Structure 1
Amino acid sequence: MDETKGIKQTNGISRARFLAGAAAVGVAGAVGPAGQALATGAGHGRGLRRQGVVYTVGAGETPGTAWSARRMRADVRAIRDDLHADTIDVTGDGVERLTATAAEAAERGLHVWLQPTLGDAPQRDILEHLAETGRFAERLRRQGASVDFSVGCEFWLFVPGILPGETALERIRHLQNGTVDWPRTLRRLAEFTAKAAKVGRSVFKGNLSYAAAQSIDDPDWSLFDIVGIDYYSYFEKRSDYVRELKQYLRWGKPLAITEFGTCAYVGAPETGGMGWDIVDYDKEPPEIKGDLVRSERVQAEYVGELLDVFASMGLYAAMTFEFISADAPHRPDEPRLDLDIATYAITKAIKDRPDDPASGWHWEPKEAFHAVARRYARRARPGARRDHG
């Protein structure tokens, strides 16, 4: 879930405020194995059926990073033509932003993994947001587009009424203070997940999924067609990734890695899903803590290795987290203010005027972008299997 779930904006919560709270208890992202059960049946040497990237459609935290249809269309073209992805995980909140992006991706021939993630709103509003997005996904599917629909991600954190607290930050404080009734929490989580799955089924007739964290989340996968996991483990041996991932095959269903990645500094992979926890948000402007060494190569090597693992297992899909994090710009001349190293993005946002919230900006590829693009291009070359059905 990184940044959380990383750095996805929830209603009324900026990334900075959310991360500052999440860091206190270390709940944003899984940092350890989810269980011990193993499974057999992983594919061997078949490659990924779908190779994608997460594209968040939040409203933006400043005037300069507000959502833009023009920018979105350019990004979708780059995802297809430069990153060589065949899948885009369209996620975030705002039905108009979600549907416009999904429609553009479908028009460009990409497989759409559509996942609404409205948070910190009443459960009925979250379910209606889910239903409205799902109806559009079904219209796309009926028009011939290739679409999978995810009912959301990590409900235990983003949906009020499961953990105590009306907002994500309040829920984090309850986790920090140990004031959580876990049997009740898990029961409520199961109840809401079942409701979300029922709503999803009622409006969408294609493949249904959910993005679960490696910890806490243990949904009833019989409700879904595809197992979705936000994956942020770190192992020194490739065989250990395979061993851990096999547990998610025990339901006999396709496995999609709905998020994976790391940040661009030395030591980031070892932090798992907590790599973003390196920013002091009590300072203005926020600063990077400690003497970290920026390294795009570290990020690229980790992402590349994980893609190789997923491909070796013949998994259904893997979505690199994430394409861009516009509200954490790269400051190459001021390492202390280089918030980009606290993101999992495979591109870096560069502002025209670094100190101006309304400044224009553009993105440039990181080494991880090229590492992903090389692997995705192998399958996108003429003669290679590129399945949109």
Structure 2
Amino acid sequence: MEQTDRITRARFLATMAAAGAAGALGPAGRARAAGPRRGLRRRGVVYTVGEGETPATGWTARRMRADIRAIRDRLHADTVDVTGDGVERLTATATEAAELGLHVWLQPTLGDVPGRDILEHLAETARSAQRLRRQGASVDLSVGCEFWLFVPGIVPGDTVLERVRNLMDGAYDPVLFQRRLADFTARAARTARSVFDGRLAYAAAQDDDVDWSLFDIVGIDYYSFFERRADYVAELRGYLRWGKPLAVTEFGTCAYLGAPRTAGMGWDVVDHDKDPEEIKGHLVRSERTQAEYVSRLLDVFESMGLYAAMAFEFVTPDAPHRPDDPVHDLDLASYAVTRTVENRPGHPESGWHWEPKQAFHALARHYAGHAAPGRGAGSGRP
């Protein structure tokens, strides 16, 4: 599923967990914590833009337009978290979402390049977000997520995978780590504020120590598992202590028995040393497990009146579903609410399409109760 020098977003989050490293809004740019109101203000899904591992799985404008329409018309989301790298891809996707009346959470995640390049990429993305705001679009801007993994120099290592290994081995100075993380986060906030006058956020891992005074919205990638509903509520309340709206910038799990209990480690079932890559162990596919976990968390978020929740993620093109070949069913390691299906199994160059999983239908049922009238049905095929 991954080349040797690349890592998926799901693996970013999960490795963080393994390493153990530490809504109502007012006028644009100013926020206050959620009051007595209940129910999410924004209900959405993460949509990742990127080059893909092969030409067939890379971003295309045609596929993106079909996907964004499906997010609105079939998933009934009112928000799309447009994330990834490439200012043109980010801008085109955000513009399409805005034109379809969706709220845009725009989050650049360029990594493995010098910090100055990441900040320049952020500035260009922020300018695009500002242009959309001036045109009347509803846009929140996140300066990025988990900088300690994306940005070289915070943790030792020239690539994400090297930094992951150093984190897991404890080969870093935690005091220096926190100082460098705080410095880059502050620089990112200043960079974005210099060109964007809307609401600013950052997507942190659950244990990150962030100066939230820099931001209008607290953003957390949330992958906890508890037996009791009350424990979710208690944990999430901790993120409200800064008196600001809370956005769950990612939540979800994989589609096999036991996946939610991994608390973000669900991706770690692939043997990447094999060619082709294989699923380890004898997992039992269960889309119901994924759907029930997503539904359970949504009920918690709604009951707390959080600002936003974005399910991770809409589609993972480089993790195809192979129902007749369980050992190579890489979709088992995907958090996507759709399954990627190769048009000709075993021939990735032939193209692919997505099909909804049970989690997609669970989200759609939940979101439909809050959808604006007049939305029709779209198609997963471009």
Superposition TM-score, scaled by structure 1 size: 0.89
Question: Counterpart of 1:202 in structure 2: which amino acid?
Answer: S
* Structure 2 residue aligned with 1:109: 101
Q: Which residue of 2 aligns with 1:376?
A: 367
Query: Matched residues in 1 for 2:34 and 2:95: separation?
Result: 33
Look up the match of 1:173.
165
Using the TM superposition, name which of 105-114 and 163-172 deviates more.
163-172
Q: Does 1:263 align with 2:263?
A: no
Matches of 2:171 and 2:136, distance apart in 1: 49
In the other structure, the counterpart of 1:242 is 233
Q: Are positions 1:78 and 2:70 aligned together? A: yes
Deviations 1:101-155 (A, max 9, x none): 0000000000000000000000000000000000000000011000000000000
The CA deviation at 1:359 is: 2.0
Structure 2: distance between partners of 1:275 and 1:227: 25
Aligned residue for 2:27? none
Residue 139 of structure 2 is matched in structure 1 by 147
Give 1:203 shift: 1.0
5 Å-filtered alignment, 1:47-66, equals 47-66=39-58
2:150 matches 1:162 = no
1:184 aligns with 2:176: yes
Contact 1:30 / 1:272 at 8 angstroms: preserved in 2? Answer: no
From 332, 335, 342, the equivalent of 2:333 is: 342
Aligned to 1:27: 15
User: Deviation per CA, 1:38-88, whole angstroms, max 9, x where unpaired?
Assistant: xxx765662100000000001110121011100000000000000000000
Q: Kindly tell me: are residues 84 and 17 of structure 1, through their superposed partners in 2, closer, same or farther at Cα, counting changes over 3 Å?
A: closer
- Structure 2 distance, partners of 1:309, 1:247, is 14
1:131 maps to a residue whose letter is: A
Residues in 2 aligned to 1:32 and 1:241: alpha-carbon distance in whole angstroms: 19
Match in the other structure for 2:301? 310
Give the letter for the 1:27 counterpart. T
- Aligned residue for 2:266? 275
Kindly tell me: are residues 253 and 30 of structure 1, through their superposed partners in 2, closer, same or farther at Cα, counting changes over 3 Å?
farther
Contact preservation (8 Å) 1:33, 1:214: no
- Indicate conservation of the 8 Å contact 1:277/1:342, yes or no: yes
Contact 1:63–1:357, Cα closer than 8 Å, also in 2: no
Q: Paired residue for 1:38?
A: none
> Cα offset for 1:357?
2.9
Distance 2:327 2:178 in 1: 40
Q: How far did 1:27 drift?
A: 2.3
Q: Separation in 2 of the partners of 1:31 and 1:264?
A: 24
User: Structure 2 CA distance, aligned partners of 1:148 and 1:169?
Assistant: 30
* Contact 1:30-1:213 at 8 Å conserved across structures: no
Match of 2:344 in 1: 353
AA aligned to 1:207 is R
Amino acid at match of 1:79: I
Q: Report the residue type matching 1:260 in the other structure.
A: F
| Match 1:69 to one of 52, 55, 61 | 61
Aligned-partner Cα distance in 1 for 2:141–2:134: 13
Identity of aligned residues (%): 72
**Any idea what SS the aligned residue of 1:319 has?**
strand
**TM-score, scaled to structure 2:** 0.91
1:280 Cα deviation from its structure 2 partner: 0.6
Cα distance in structure 2, aligned partners of 1:312 and 1:159: 36
Instruction: Determine the C-alpha separation between the residues in 2 that align with 1:179 and 1:347.
Output: 37
Pairwise CA distance, 1:31: 9.2
Q: Call closer, same or farther: CA 1:122–1:89 in 2, change over 3 Å.
A: same
Task: Write the distance in 2 (CA, Å) between the matches of 1:318 and 1:185.
Answer: 29
State the distance in 2 between where 1:66 and 1:290 align. Answer: 30
Structure 1 contact 92–98 (Cα < 8 Å) conserved: yes
Query: Counterpart of 1:387?
Result: none
Q: Per-residue CA shift, 1:172-219, capped at 9, x if unaligned?
A: 22223322111001000000000000001011100000000012x211
Matched, 1:137 2:125: no
1:28 Cα offset (Å): 3.7
Aligned residues: 364
Conservation of the 8 A alpha-carbon contact between 2:34 and 2:244: no
Q: 2:184 and 2:322 mapped to 1: Cα distance?
A: 42
**Structure 2 Cα separation of the partners of residues 166 and 255 of structure 1:** 33
CA distances 1:239-285 after superposition (whole Å, capped 9, x unpaired): 11000000000011000000000000000000011100000111111
Q: Is the 8 A contact 2:254 2:335 kept in 1?
A: yes
Partner SS state of residue 267, structure 2: coil
Of 79, 89, 101, the residue aligned with 1:97 is 89
Is there any run of 5+ residues in structure 2 with no aligned partner, and where? Answer: 23-32, 375-382
* Pairing of 1:29-44 with structure 2 (within 5 A): 29=17
Task: Give CA-to-partner distance per residue, 1:295-317, whole Å, 9 cap, x none.
Answer: 00000000001001000000000
Q: Please, what is the CA RMSD of the aligned residues?
A: 2.2
